[in-house]
Structure 1
Amino acid sequence: MGLERPDWFDRAAEWWHPAVGDDIARHVQPVSISSGGGLYVRCSSTAWTTHMRLLAPRLAERLNQATP
């Protein structure tokens, strides 16, 4: 059984860039949603992966405000 993505995820281009800003959007893209509601992203390098781990709590707040 595949995971169902929320309708708003299909409109990621509308909310991702404004929510995360230019720098992050250039290096990190949303790829899927877990069954528990976690967002999986693809990072351009291991440095960006580490950076995202550090920013995750703050970024989660911004994304929750930006998504419907």
Structure 2
Amino acid sequence: MEKIIKTVSESLVTNHQCCFCGESIENEVLVAMTLKLNDGQLQSMSTHGLCLQKRLHPSVPFIAPEEVK
């Protein structure tokens, strides 16, 4: 239950840092990722859609939120 509460409280944070470029994500659509680690713990990260898109393999289909009108 503690993990769920922590994950929910982290999602309510209004300022995020992009895990790729290190810049702040403010007033923008962000991509939230949750990783399940080997020990069962969870780690949440945020990124700009375009930063994630730059790092994905070209064969992976992805439309960054910034590209959607």
Smaller-chain TM-score bracket: 0.3 to 0.5
Query: Which structure's CA Rg is the greater one?
Result: 2
Instruction: For CA contacts below 8 A with separation 6 or more, give which structure has more relative contact order.
Output: 1
- Structure with the higher helix share, 1 or 2: 1
- Structure with the higher strand share, 1 or 2: 2
TM-score (norm: length of structure 2): 0.32
TM-score (norm: length of structure 1): 0.32
